[in-house]
Amino acid sequence: MAQRPDMTIDLDAILDKKGFKLPGFVKNWLKKLLHVDFLNAFFIQGYEGVEFCTKALDYVDVKLEVSGLEKVPADGTLYTFVSNHPLGGIDGVAMGSIVGEKFSGKVKYLINDILMNVKGLQSIGVPINKTGGQSRNLPQLINDAFNSDNQMVMFPAGLCSRKIDGKIQDLPWGKAFVVKSKQTGRYVVPVHFIAENSPRFYRVANLCGLLKMKFNLAMVLLPDEMYRNMHSTFRVIIGKPIAPEFFDNSKTPYEWAQWVREEVYKLN
C-alpha cells in the first residue's frame, strides 16, 4: 500500500483552526503527550473505515475476547449497538472492527467531532458536538445515519467512564439511542466492554469535574492511555438484542436509557 501523507494529523493546523495560540515548546510537549509521531506512523499507511479500525488494533497489539456476537444475526435486521465507554479510544475502534467485520463494513459511529481529524474514521463517523455552521446540520446527519442500512454504534455516555462512588463506570446515558431506535425500528444491542484506564486518568478527570473546567483536559490524556494499553487483551460481551417496541411508555426515554446502562453492567 502506498503511503498517504494526507491521512496524517497536523497538530499545528488543528490548534490554529481551534484558535489555540501556543508557544513552540508547549506544542512540542503536547505532540509527545499525544504520541503524534506514533499515530502518524500508522495513519500514513492510508487505511480507512472498518479496515482502519481492525488494523489499528493490530498496530497497538490489542486482542479482543468477544462473546455473544452470535446473538446478533446478519439477516437484514438493523441494530443500534450501545456500549459503555471505559477507554475512550481503543474501545471505539474495537467496536468499529467487531460490528464492521460482522456486517461487511455497513457501520456508522456517532463520534466526537475532534476525532473527525482522524481521516481514517471519516467514512464511518457522524460528528457530534460540532461548532459553527455545521452544528445546524447535526440533526439531519443523525437522521440520515439512522435511516440508512448501516448498523449504528453509540457510546451513550458521551464521555469515557469516570471513577464514581469508587467504581469505574459511565456517566448517565443520553436518551438519543432509545428515541432514534424506536423511530427507525432498530433493535438495541447492549455491549459491555471490560477495561479501564490508569488511576492518573481518573484523578485528572475527577479534578476537572470538581473545578468545573470547560476544557476537557482528561481527553488530552486519551492517546497516552491508549499507548499504555498496548499489548492488552480485553473482554467484550454482547447481550441479546432488545426489540424497539420493548421501550414502551412505562418509562421515559431517559429512564429506558439508564435501564439499558444497568443491563450492560450486568453482562459478564
Dump pLDDT digits (tens) for 31-47. Answer: 999 999 999 999 999 99
Q: How would you write the chain as a 3-class SS string?
A: CCCCHHHCCCHHHHHHHHCCCCCHHHHHHHHHHCCHHHHHHHHCCCCCHHHHHHHHHHHCCCEEEEECHHHCCCCCCCEEEEECCCCCCHHHHHHHHHHHHHCCCCEEEEEEHHHHHCHHHCCCEEEECCCHHHHHHHHHHHHHHHCCCCEEEECCCCCCCEEECCEEECCCCCCHHHHHHHHHCCEEEEEEEECCCCHHHHHHHHHHHHHCCCCCHHHHCHHHHHHHCCCCEEEEEECCCECHHHCCCCCCHHHHHHHHHHHHHHCC
List the one residue out of 184, 187, 226, 199 whose CA is nearest residue 60. Answer: 226
Cα–Cα dist 243/152, whole Å: 15
Instruction: Name the more confident of 139 and 71.
Output: 71
How buried is 155 (Cβ within 10 angstroms: 0-12 exposed, 13-18 middle, 19+ buried)? buried
Report whether pLDDT(133) > 70: no
- The percent of residues above 90 in pLDDT, for the chain, comes to 74
Q: Position 38: which residue type?
A: F
Residue 129, pLDDT score: 65
Instruction: Name the more confident of 262 and 130.
Output: 262
- The percent of residues above 70 in pLDDT, for the chain, comes to 96
Report whether pLDDT(112) > 80: no
Instruction: Name the more confident of 186 and 24.
Output: 186
Do 114 and 11 form a contact (C-beta atoms < 8 A)?
Answer: no
* pLDDT band for position 132 (cuts 50, 70, 90): very low
Lowest mean pLDDT among 93-107, 129-143, 155-169, 172-186: 129-143
pLDDT tens-digit series, residues 190-239? 999 999 999 999 999 888 878 777 667 788 899 999 999 999 999 999 99
Cα–Cα dist 248/268, whole Å: 26
